[in-house]
Amino acid sequence: MTAPGIGDTVELDGLRAGNGGVMVGRHDGRVVFVRGALPDERVVARITDDRRSSYLSATVEEILESSDHRVPDRCAAATAGAGCCDLSHADDAGARAVKNQVIADLLGRIGGFDESVSSTVEMRTLTPTSAYRTRVRMPAAADGAAGNHVRSGDGVVTGARCAQPVPEILDAVGGRAWTPGAEVVAVRGDDGVVHLAERAPDTRTPRHSRSTRSRAQRSRARQSRTSVTPVEGGGVVHRRVGGRQWSVPVTGFWQAHVDGAAGYSALVAEMAAAHAPDARTAWDLYGGVGVFAGTLCDVLPSLEHVTVVESDAEAVAAARVTFADDHRVAAYRGPVAGAVRALPSPDVVVADPPRSGLGAEIVDAIAAARPSVIVHVGCDPAAAARDLGLFSRRGYVPARIVAVDAFGLTHHVEVVAALVSVD
Ligand SMILES: C[S@@+](CC[C@H](N)C(=O)[O-])C[C@H]1O[C@@H](n2cnc3c(N)ncnc32)[C@H](O)[C@@H]1O
């Protein structure tokens, strides 16, 4: 019997959840990563990639035995081939179960934790689970319509709406013709104002070939090279958490879910207050405009000083405006790696790094500062599992791990963990 290749179909059962929106099955002993399936389903899948000897990639062709959590696709763009909502065929409970399984698996395989840790992960869902996103970036197609990237490759799916953004954003974006090849940035502020901006097409030749760079890497490189033109709304977005307000540039970072900043802040508050109620000093690392610094000020009555460390100049400027009258908060502009060696030791550290996580060097520096509690906020569960494992080998173990499903219809999930010293 010859091994299956691209275009062939295989029957798979006993599927389990894998990281990145795929289910994992086996065919003739070989691992198959399948898109469009759910745990425990029996499916016929068509092979889409056979270039690696260790695994095959496939998409579901036919469901032979369906999961109780399967629902009709909830995202028109994903149904039309976009890569946006890779779990739009699961109900909310099914998506939550997938994320829980994936995190438990990663904590074991990458973090090195046993079941006594991985089985304690709490799940929290932020609602709504569709029409929740207040910030999107959309590619403009050759005909000037904005859409979503195709699931793989470089095309744009237009004329079918993604189910994640709040409808006002899509209405505003859809009413305009955009520059072909541009990136459309659309944001709804907490005051209801919709802001639109256009990032110019990137016409320069990339230094690396396309095949060696991920879409996220290409997007970051493009952001550093291209200009942004505000189109509607004024370009300064008003945001609120608790009693504080921020003015954030339209391209600046803010948590995607309408309740994300408040939802994560509530967890940061619970964890800091539980493990360091008398804290006097804190670090808010990768702090953006200082949302978590504000939270710490609100829940730690003895707090005298919190330093926001952030590399983005506009975010630091926004933080300085919001905290202009609060002597407890200082915003430091620069990379975390340099700051953590120079700052006075903290009682509380909140660290909310980009998808790549902290890594060994920063974990070492934070652990060496001997805080009472470290709150790790991680948007990539594999990187978070690695960081938590690194911390535990430096004497900080998880006291609580909460997976926040703030990304309905997708495999994405935020992992918020409180780490305390075993000494
Ligand atoms: C996931 S966001 C978190 C922002 C903030 N905690 C919030 O909730 O709004 C990560 C932030 O880290 C910043 N950043 C990325 N790399 C950095 C580095 N090496 N040093 C300092 N800040 C960095 C980014 O500009 C971004 O604002």
Ligand 1 close to Cβ of residue 287 (< 6 A): yes
> Does 364 appear as a known binding residue?
no
Question: Which atom in ligand 1 lies closest to the alpha carbon of residue 289?
Answer: 9
Please give the distance, rounded to the nearest whole angstrom, from the Cα atom of residue 155 to the centre of ligand 1: 29
Which protein residue's CA is at the shortest distance from atom 20 of ligand 1?
Answer: 335
Residue 253 in contact with residue 220, Cβ under 8 Å? no
- 28 annotated among ligand-binding-site residues: no
- Complex-level ipTM: 0.99
Question: Looking at residues 51-78, what average pLDDT do you find?
Answer: 95
Q: What are the backbone dihedrals phi and psi of residue 104, each rounded to the nearest 5 degrees, phi first?
A: -60, -40
**286 known member of a binding site:** yes
Whether residue 379 lies in the annotated active site: yes
Mean pLDDT of the chain: 94
For 301-330, write each residue's pLDDT tens digit: 999 999 999 999 999 999 999 999 999 999
pLDDT digits (tens, 9 = 90+) for 285-299: 999 999 999 999 999
Model confidence at 218: pLDDT above 80: no
| Site to substitute for ligand 1 among 284, 309, 310, most atoms within 8 A of C-beta | 310
Q: pLDDT-based confidence at 204, cuts 50/70/90?
A: low
Burial group, residue 284, by CB count within 10 angstroms (0-12, 13-18, 19+):
buried
Cα(366) to ligand 1 centroid in Å equals 16
Query: Residue 40, annotated ligand binder?
Result: no
Q: What is the pLDDT of residue 152?
A: 82
CB 299 within 8 A of CB 276: no
Q: How far is CA 301 from the centre of its chain?
A: 31
405 CA to centre of ligand 1 in angstroms = 20
Among residues 147, 69, 413, the alpha carbon closest in space to that of 257 is found at 413
Q: State the pLDDT at residue 226.
A: 77
**pTM for the model:** 0.94
Residues 326, 294: Cα–Cα separation, whole Å:
10
Task: Check if 336 has its Cβ closer than 6 Å to any atom of ligand 1.
Answer: yes
Report d(CA 276, CA 281) in Å as an integer. 10
Q: What is the mean pLDDT of residues 162-174?
A: 97
Beta strands 135-139; 148-149: pairing state: unpaired
